[in-house]
Amino acid sequence: MKIAYLGPVASFTHHAVKKAFAKDELASYDTIPDCLEALTASQVDRAVVPLENALEGSVPITVDYLFHDVDVHITAELVSPIEQHLMVHPSNYSRWEDVSKIMSHSHALAQCHKYLYYRFRGKTLQPSTSTAAAAQYVSEHPDENAGAIGNALAARTYGLTIVEENIHDFHFNHTRFVVLSREASADRLTLEGGSQKSTLMVTLPSDDRPGKLHQVLSAFSWRHLNLSKIESRPLKTGLGNYFFIIDVEQAMEGVLMKGAIDELEALGCTVKVLGSYHKYSIPAN
């Protein structure tokens, strides 16, 4: 199989994909839409992109593309620990505390916000297109004495020296990546985990939204279907109009799930089943 992933080389997505699809051909794409378009255009068999980080929340562009733009299916979920390290060019090792600026993806900067605020207050924090791109820049500009925040794979790939490990503010930092396919059938991977779940996107009818969300939750609640996530995203039709992403710890087969979805549709909701799949753990190293 050929797998598109959100690059560049040494990104967090690359780390997850290497563990999950060790024997497959991997292809790096610059943006999340590029990964998804490659999948819908049949240039690849799977696309792997981040969906949600434990600290920063959902990745809006992934969620919105899955809702608005493409018709693909989640066939597996990869949960990967995210460890952010501060790294510099080896020639600047002795003066890393005087870095001129610190570069990383805006999500990574946000994940280390308190560390940066208390340790490097006033330093320029420069957003980059990815953590790996920041590492690459630092490796190519030793004269600037810049720092990058990223993962150990990026440090190895670009020959940088890690000067402070695990600088993310909250210990429990994980990202959920989704494996996407044009077909709905779930992937079985040789990784730890494997519990089943389903993801639905639910749009409420426009008439009576607040009461309707209560009814939506009732449809799951009285059936004892356990929701591991409910999140709202703007519909982009105006402030205050949302759709909901709901994760249910249950496969889609079975009379209870079918009953719940039938009930939601009878209430006037639109339900899109994004996938029924297995959830796997990616090791840190």
Sites for a second copy among residues 112-171 (CB under 8 A): 113, 117, 125-129, 169-170
Cα separation, 75 vs 96, whole angstroms: 43
> Scanning the structure block, which residue is given the tokens 């009878």?
266
Cα separation, 241 vs 204, whole angstroms: 9
* Given 41, 239, 255, 266, the residue binding a second copy (CB under 8 A): 239
Whether 18 and 26 have beta carbons less than 8 Å apart is answered as: yes
* Given 237, 255, 266, 285, the residue binding a second copy (CB under 8 A): 237
Cis preceding-peptide flag for 8 (omega within 30 of 0): yes
- Which part of the chain contacts a second copy (CB under 8 A), choosing from 20-28, 135-143, 145-153, 218-226? 218-226
Cα separation, 162 vs 148, whole angstroms: 9
Q: 3-class SS at 90? A: helix
Q: What is the DSSP letter of 186?
A: P
The nearer residue to a second copy, 18 or 229, going by C-beta atoms, is 229
Alpha carbon 201 to chain centroid, angstroms: 17
Binding mask 246-285 for a second copy (x = CB under 8 A): ----------------------------------------
Q: 3-class SS at 255? A: helix
* Given 2, 25, 43, 60, the residue binding a second copy (CB under 8 A): 60
Binding mask 90-109 for a second copy (x = CB under 8 A): ----------------x---
Instruction: Count the site residues for a second copy by CB under 8 A.
Output: 48
* Given 23, 71, 240, 285, the residue binding a second copy (CB under 8 A): 240
The nearer residue to a second copy, 91 or 228, going by C-beta atoms, is 228
Distance (Å) of CA 231 to CA 46, 91, 112, 181: 25, 46, 24, 23
For the chain, the helix, strand and coil percentages under 3-state DSSP, each to the nearest 5:
35, 35, 35
The nearer residue to a second copy, 128 or 276, going by C-beta atoms, is 128
- Which part of the chain contacts a second copy (CB under 8 A), choosing from 154-162, 182-190, 210-218, 266-274? 210-218
- Contacts with a second copy, residue ranges (CB under 8 A): 33, 52-57, 60-61, 79, 106, 110, 113, 117, 125-129, 169-170, 172, 174, 176, 209-211, 213-214, 217-218, 220-221, 226-234, 236-240, 242
